Structure 1
Amino acid sequence: MFLDHVVHFISEPPQMAVDYWKKQGMHAALGGRHLNWGTHNALFYTKDSYIEWLAVEKPEVAESANHPLTELLLHDKTGFGTICLRTDSMAELNNRLNGEGFETSGVLDAERKTDSGELIQWKMLFIKEQVTDQLPYPFFIEWQESDEQRYESLRKRGAIVPANEELAIERLIFGVKNPETAKRKWLQILGGSLELPNCRIEFRHTEQKRERLEEVCFAQGEKRLSFEGGVYRLTEHLDV
């Protein structure tokens, strides 16, 4: 299981995020539209994961979508929402979680259409829970292409440039009321380790009302950048 992406909710159109991050020397790109959810996004890729800046495009569709991620977006509005973990055995994961007492959404089909008209498809899995200020569980994705195929397509579309593949997300720091309780629950969900092959998950105590991801730390990330309610620790050579 790998970190696939961080979901960061924003209040402005995705093009704003693309423009802002390009000014920081980081190549971001428009993603596309989730027609059935009323949302659209911008994306920033690293060598093996990415940031998704997700916004509401059509409120009337989003409010009736009955989709876990859209419901969280409507609740939070801005800031880090949750994270997505990548698997190549979704059915097996679903069976394990159900066997350990978690109620899941079952495996869901998903898609988005890029601005060029390309249809991108994947499968998703959520652990059922109420949307509250408590820390949401991660959700899971299985792409319909291999990582190599997916990244080659992203290079051809210009969503990734060589500088993207020199960057990596090293740590995710979550702020919670009880770090030990959160750690035990996530260890169970992740199968026994918070050390993913491409990222480490950490928990710390917070006095904030809402328990959420608080910092996304890139490898050798020391420069602090606040954006739309989230904090990034960026790689030293970036001019921020």
Structure 2
Amino acid sequence: MYLDHIVHFIEEEPEKAVEVWKRHGFHAAKGGQHLNWGTHNALLYFKDSYIEWLAVEKMEVAEEADHPLTQLLLHDRKGFGTICLRTEDIAQLEERLKGQGIETTGVLDAERKTESGGLIKWKMLFLKEAVSDNLPSPFFIEWNESDSERYEGLRKRGAILPDNEKQAIERCIFGVHDPAASAEKWRSLIGSLELPNCRFEFRKTERKRGRLEEVVLARGTQEVSFEEGVYCIPPNGNI
């Protein structure tokens, strides 16, 4: 299991996120639309994971969408929302979680219309839990393409440049009210807090809401705040 991506909710248009992060030296790109959820996004890819800046595009659609991520977006509006982990067998994962007595949404089919009009498809799995100020559990994804096929498509579309693939997310730091309990819960879900491509840490927070608080990139030394999320990035970005 790998970190697939971080979901960061924003109130700005996705194009604005692209502009801001290009000024920090990163090649970000407009993603596309989730027509059934009323949302759209911008994306910043690294060598084996990415950041998704997710915003409401059509409120009337989002409010009617029976989808855990959209519901969390409407609750939080801005700031880091949750993280997604990549698996090669989401059906087997669902069976394991059910065997642990964990209720899930079942495997959900999903798709996104790209800026060029293409359609990207994947499968998702969420734990069934109420949207609240408590730290959301991670959700899971299985892409319809292999990683090599997916990245080749991203290169062809210009969503990722060679320098993007030199960068990586090293750590995700979560602010919670009971770090030990949160760490134990996540270990039971995913087996380890040390994934092959990222480490998860939990620290005590005084904030009302338990959420991801800081994302640390490789060689990150400079803190940047954006839409209530904190990133530790290399001073010159990755361009």
Q: For this structure pair, what is the TM-score category when the shorter chain's length is used for normalisation?
A: over 0.9
Q: Equivalents in 2 of 1:197, 1:171: separation in Å?
A: 11
Give, in angstroms, the shift of residue 110 of structure 1: 0.2
Show the counterpart of 1:185.
185
Give, in angstroms, the shift of residue 167 of structure 1: 0.3
Give, in angstroms, the shift of residue 35 of structure 1: 0.2
Matched, 1:201 2:200: yes
Show the counterpart of 2:173.
173
Q: Equivalents in 1 of 2:19, 2:33: separation in Å?
A: 18
Give, in angstroms, the shift of residue 160 of structure 1: 0.3
Helix, strand or coil at the partner of 2:30: strand
Question: In 1, are the aligned partners of 2:168 and 2:218 still within 8 Å (CA)?
Answer: yes
Give, in angstroms, the shift of residue 237 of structure 1: 3.6
Give, in angstroms, the shift of residue 196 of structure 1: 0.4
Show the counterpart of 1:157.
157
What are the ranges of 5 or more consecutive residues in structure 2 without an aligned counterpart? Answer: none
Q: How does 1:1-240 map to 2 (within 5 A)?
A: 1-191=1-191, 193-238=192-237
Helix, strand or coil at the partner of 2:221: strand
* 1:36-61 CA-partner distances (Å, limit 9, x unpaired): 00000000000000000000000000
Helix, strand or coil at the partner of 1:163: helix
* 1:126-158 CA-partner distances (Å, limit 9, x unpaired): 000000000000000000000000000000000
Instruction: Among all aligned residue pairs of Structure 1 and Structure 2, give the percentage whose two residues are the same amino acid.
Output: 67
* 1:184-239 CA-partner distances (Å, limit 9, x unpaired): 00000002x10000000000000000000000000121100000000000024439
Question: In 1, are the aligned partners of 2:179 and 2:204 still within 8 Å (CA)?
Answer: yes
Give, in angstroms, the shift of residue 97 of structure 1: 0.5
Q: Equivalents in 2 of 1:151, 1:132: separation in Å?
A: 34
What are the ranges of 5 or more consecutive residues in structure 1 without an aligned counterpart? Answer: none
Q: Equivalents in 1 of 2:237, 2:51: separation in Å?
A: 17
Helix, strand or coil at the partner of 1:47: coil
Q: Equivalents in 2 of 1:115, 1:10: separation in Å?
A: 19
Q: Equivalents in 2 of 1:98, 1:235: separation in Å?
A: 41
Q: Equivalents in 2 of 1:6, 1:137: separation in Å?
A: 13
* 1:22-80 CA-partner distances (Å, limit 9, x unpaired): 11110000000000000000000000000000000000000000100000000000000
TM-score, structure 1 as length reference? 0.98
Q: Runs of 4 or more off by more than 6 Å in structure 1?
A: none
* 1:92-148 CA-partner distances (Å, limit 9, x unpaired): 100000110110000000000001100000000000000000000000000000000
TM-score, structure 2 as length reference? 0.98
Question: In 1, are the aligned partners of 2:25 and 2:236 still within 8 Å (CA)?
Answer: no
Q: Equivalents in 2 of 1:178, 1:88: separation in Å?
A: 31
State the one-letter code of the partner of 1:74. Answer: L
Helix, strand or coil at the partner of 2:63: helix
State the one-letter code of the partner of 2:7. Answer: V
